[in-house]
Amino acid sequence: MSATPTSNPVTAGMLVIGDEILSGRTKDKNIGTVADFCTEMGIELREVRVVADETDDIVAAINALRTRYTHVFTTGGIGPTHDDITADAVAMAFEVALPINDEAREIIETRLRKVNVEINPSVLRMARIPEGATLIANPVSGAPGFRMGNVHVMAGVPKIMQAMLNEIAKTLTSGRKMLSRELPCGVGESTVSTGLGEIQTEYPAVKIGSYPQMVNPQRDPDVAPVYAYIALRSTNEALLDEATAKVKALIDRLHAEKGITLSEEPKP
C-alpha cells in the first residue's frame, strides 16, 4: 500500500559460520556490522549464533533461526575450498537440490578472467546455489551470495559482507526504527540503579540499559573505577525523550548530592 515500514516488529537472527572464529584465529567483525545495520533498518536483531564448519551444526542453526525470525543473515563458508559448506547446509535445511547456477557461474568466470586467475573445476563450488534461491551481488570480488527464503547467505570477509548487506538493504522488510539516547553517569551502577529501575518501571515502552565502563584508576583513585553509561531505546520518540529527561534529572540529582560535575567524567 505504501512505503511505510510495517508496525509489527521485524526481527532477525544471525549465524556466523567458521572454525576460525571459534579457535580465535580470526576475530569477528561482522556481528557488530550486522547489529548496526539492523538498528538502522528498524530490524530487531534478537539472536546471534557462531558455529563451526560442521554441516549438521549449520543445518540445525539455520532451521532454528529461520523459523523464529523475520530475516536470517549468515556470514562465512561460501568460498571454493573444502571447508566452504554453507550452500550445502542451506540446501539441506530447505530440502532442495544444489545445482550449478548458470548466472552465478557466468559472474564468477567473468570475474576470474578479468583478474587473470585460471578457471578450474573447484571454482564451480561457488556457483552451486540452492534451487529456488536468488543471487546477492558481490561488487567486491564477484562470487555471489544468495537469498533462500528468509535466509541471506553472505561472505565472511568483512568488506565483501558489507557490500552484500548494502545490496540486500532495499529488498528487506524493515520495521519502525529504534531510536536511542545515551547519557554518561559519572557515577557507578550501584549509585544509579535504584532510581534507574524506577524510571524503567514507569516507561515500559522504553528499554533502559546501563553499561559499565572502566575508568582509569590513576585518574580517579577515590571513586569506583567503573562508571555507568545509560542507553535508552524506543520506537516512540516522545516517550523516549520523556524518559531520557527523567534519567538526566536523576543523574543531576546524584551529582548534586555528591558534588560531582560532568566534566570529571571519562569518555566512553
Q: In this structure, are residues 77 and 17 in contact, taking their beta carbons and an 8 Å threshold?
A: yes
Q: Which is nearer to a second copy, 83 or 252 (CB)?
A: 83
Dihedral over Cα of 93, 99, 100, 104: its sign: negative
Q: Which is nearer to a second copy, 18 or 175 (CB)?
A: 18
Which of 214, 238, 259, 261: binder of a second copy (CB under 8 A)? 214
Q: Which is nearer to a second copy, 44 or 242 (CB)?
A: 44
**DSSP one-letter code for 119:** -
* 174 touching a second copy, by CB under 8 A: no
Nearest distance in Å: CB 82, a second copy = 4
> Stretches 92-100, 162-170, 217-225, 242-250: which one binds a second copy (CB under 8 A)?
217-225
Q: Which is nearer to a second copy, 96 or 223 (CB)?
A: 223
Nearest distance in Å: CB 2, a second copy = 27
Q: Which is nearer to a second copy, 149 or 233 (CB)?
A: 233
Interactions with a second copy, residue window 118-147 (CB under 8 A): 118-123, 125-126, 140-141
Distance separating alpha carbons of residues 119 and 253, to the nearest angstrom: 69
Give the end-to-end CA distance of the chain in Å, rounded to a whole number: 43
DSSP β-ladder status, 151-154 and 71-75: parallel
Interactions with a second copy, residue window 15-44 (CB under 8 A): 16, 18-28, 31-32, 35-39, 44
Block residue for cell numbers 562465512: 76
Residue 4 grid coordinates? 511505510
* 205 touching a second copy, by CB under 8 A: no
* 211 touching a second copy, by CB under 8 A: yes
Residue 11 DSSP SS3 = strand
Residue 113 grid coordinates? 578472467
Between helix 55-66 and helix 86-94 the angle, nearest 10°, is: 50
Q: Which is nearer to a second copy, 148 or 196 (CB)?
A: 196
Interactions with a second copy, residue window 52-71 (CB under 8 A): 52-53, 57
Which of 5, 80, 149, 266: binder of a second copy (CB under 8 A)? 80
CB-count burial class (<10 Å; 0-12, 13-18, 19+) for 94: buried
Distance separating alpha carbons of residues 70 and 65, to the nearest angstrom: 9
* 83 touching a second copy, by CB under 8 A: yes
